[in-house]
Amino acid sequence: MNNISEIIAQGKTAIGMEFGSTRIKAVLIDSAANPLASGSFDWENSYKNGIWTYSLAEVKEGMQTAFANLKADTEKKYGVKLTTAGALGISGMMHGYLAFDKDGNQLAEFRTWRNTITAEAAEKLSALFDFNIPQRWSIAHLYQAMLNGEEHTDKIDSIFTLASYIHYRLTGKRVVGVGEASGMFPIDSSINDYDRSMLDKFAALSADCPWNINEILPKVLAAGEDAGILTEEGALLLDPTGEFKAGIPLCPPEGDAGTGMVATNSVAQRTGNISAGTSIFLMVVLEKALSKLYPEIDMVTTPSGSPVAMVHCNNCSGEIDAWAGIFKEICTEMGADVTIYKILDKMFELSLRADKDCGGLVGFNYLSGEVITGLDSGKPMFFRGPDSKFDLANFSRAQLYSAAATLSIGKEILDAENVKIDRLLGHGGYFKAPVAGQAVMAAALDAPVSVMKTAGEGGPWGQAILALYRLEKADGETLEDFLENRIFSEQESFEVKPDEADKKGFAAFLENYKKGLAAEKAAAAF
């Protein structure tokens, strides 16, 4: 304990802070990436004027609260104040759109990854670039605002993702990690920068604007590069008490997709990871490019710039959480003091006892739209037939299946492209309960799914590791080598292989799910 206190006092640590969809979390690690302390802040997006958003006031409050809680946890555990660190890294929910004028004034509401309001822009840019531009990407939001004739587009001086904006506020540097950048604009992995030919095409498309696309995007940096230092102003923004010192180096800001890859050691070719929380996505590092453009597949990169095929779904555990909240309310009304986490654990546990096909129950977890299944908006639905077996175990399993269904449909494209995956690792809240999430996902994707002991640490831990890499990497040491040899060489993992009965049960559920999509589309329309 005294040794850890000394390590913290001397700043032989790294901090990762991730702005996720439902939680902002900060993690302190030592030089071996062992988590030492953490702090968090729970938040939820708002739906205002047809936009899923968070206010910058919420961003500031959440950052300061999560960091204050990290400091408090550190002092409680080790009896030492957290006043410095070896390096710091910021990550956040990938994609989205934050626009500012030359004086730093916000020009439009923060448009998050969850919005599906840029279909026209995404379609036109995909055709122009011959490259899939998802609706979530920053460039799609920018072009849609132009197509809509929004006045703010004439005043733009800079656009950011959430992570790159917070990094800018802390350092004064308008930079972005290459993995996060690949959710803003297409990346050329041969140069680890925005694709120049596509930049030229967009510059011609936006020739009447008073800005050039090359000037308003943040500069792209690969993992390990110098991304600036914590300024005096940034230190006070992070920690208004003034106890945390300026001058700490920062690594490039990344998105939650990139930190998920790092947290699961999935940055090498033929490795993949599943991040399952509010949203869910599968990322596979490719050996070669896909044969053609697929609107359902995002082409992004690892934090070191390698090409990645990404199957992204907007909806995952939100509906599970909502039902757990209802069950908790019932318990409270009956005088039972049960946490929502215990209820979630029980739902996952019960799913293992359920019929493999959920007894004919089908659920849709669409709180928002899904490109893969062609929905611009969503409404959660649940239905059963008169002969369905309706009990809590089957209901719970149907909710878990629903969270994996759209991802399974998207993976069918990678299967058709004969994409090889040697290792698939899961992380996020969906995998916290023992076995259940892994078993369902293994059946849904027809592949073994492993979970490491550190899976619950997730993105903030992955970003802290990127900060550590920025601080301690040897000359010529790649991120892949750093992770394999220095972080994960002794990490234990637990693998669940696809069970044939589970696969048949999920296939039966998915058949009913696909048949029910017409009803879901009709419901979403009103």
The first and second tokens of residue 252, run together, are 């490039």
pLDDT for position 89: 98
Same domain? For 199 and 342 the reply is: no
Mean pLDDT, rounded, for 372-388:
93
Q: What does the pLDDT read at residue 1? A: 64
DSSP string of 378-408, one letter each residue: ---EEE--TTS---HHHHHHHHHHHHHHHHH
Query: What does the pLDDT read at residue 434?
Result: 86
- Total domains present in the chain: 2
Residue 89 domain flag: no
Beta carbons of 252 and 90 less than 8 angstroms apart = no
What is 301-368 written as a DSSP string?
Answer: E-TT--EEEEEEES-SSHHHHHHHHHHHHHHHHTT----HHHHHHHHHHHHTTS-TTGGG-EEE--SS
333 and 214 in a common domain: no
The reply to whether 256 and 343 lie within a common domain is no
Strand 51-53 relative to strand 46-48: parallel, antiparallel, unpaired? antiparallel
The domain containing residue 498 runs over which residues? 318-453+493-524
Tens digits of residue pLDDT in 470-489: 999 999 999 999 999 999 98
149 lies in some domain? yes
Instruction: Look at residue 424 and tell me if it is in a domain.
Output: yes
For 52, the 3-state DSSP assignment is: strand
For residue 2, pLDDT beyond 80: no
> What confidence score (pLDDT) does residue 457 get?
66
Q: Residue 291: inside a domain, yes or no?
A: no
Which segments of 53-150 does DSSP mark as H helices, in order? 56-78, 119-129, 138-147
> Is 360 inside any structural domain?
yes
What confidence category does residue 352 fall into, taking pLDDT thresholds of 50, 70 and 90? very high
| Residue 518 neighbours by CB under 8 Å, 6+ apart | none
Across residues 111-129, what is the average pLDDT?
A: 94
Half-sphere exposure of 515 (CA within 13 A, CB side): 11
**Across the strands, what pairs with 99?**
159
Same domain, 370 and 255: no
Name the DSSP letter for residue 21. Answer: S
Distances, alpha carbon 75 to alpha carbons 5, 37, 71, 244, 522, in Å: 9, 9, 6, 13, 54
Whether 335 and 260 map to the same domain: the answer is no
User: Which tens digits make up the pLDDT trace of 191-244?
Assistant: 999 999 999 999 999 999 999 999 999 999 999 999 999 999 999 999 999 999
226 and 102 fall within a common domain: yes
Helix, strand, coil fractions of the chain, as percent rounded to 5: 40, 20, 40
Residues 250 and 380 in one domain: no
180 and 257 in a single domain? The answer is: yes
pLDDT at site 452: 84
**Contact predicate 308/190, CB 8 Å:** no
* Mean pLDDT, range 395-400, rounded to an integer: 98
Question: What is d(CA 131, CA 122) in angstroms, rounded to the nearest whole number?
Answer: 10
- Phi and psi at 182, nearest 5°, equal -70, -5
28 located within any domain: yes
Is residue 249 included in any domain, yes or no? yes
359: in domain: yes
The separation between CA 68 and the C-alpha centre of its own chain, rounded to angstroms, equals 23
Count of Cβ atoms closer than 10 Å to residue 408 Cβ: 23
Contact 90, 17 (CB under 8 A): yes
pLDDT computed for residue 481 by the predictor = 94
E strand spans, 212-316: 219-221, 254-255, 271-276, 280-285, 298-301, 307-313
Share of the chain above pLDDT 90, in %: 83
Q: What mean pLDDT value characterizes the chain? A: 94
Whether the per-residue pLDDT at 459 is higher than 90: the answer is no
Are 239 and 329 found together in one domain?
no
Query: Does residue 323 share a domain with residue 250?
Result: no
Residues 253 and 91: their CA atoms lie apart, in Å, by 5
- pLDDT for res 454: 67
Residues 435, 442: Cα–Cα separation, whole Å: 10
* Span 283-303, pLDDT tens digits: 999 988 888 999 889 899 999
How many other CB atoms are there within 10 angstroms of residue 284's CB atom?
23
Q: Indicate which CATH number applies to the domain containing 197.
A: 3.30.420.40
Residues 342 and 248 in one domain: no
Same domain as 330, residue 235:
no
How do residues 412-456 score in pLDDT, each as one tens digit? 999 999 998 888 999 888 998 889 999 999 999 999 999 987 656
Burial 98-123 (b: 16+ CB within 10 A, else e): bbbeeeeeebbbbbbbbbbbbeebbe
Please give the share of the chain, as a percent, with pLDDT higher than 70. 99
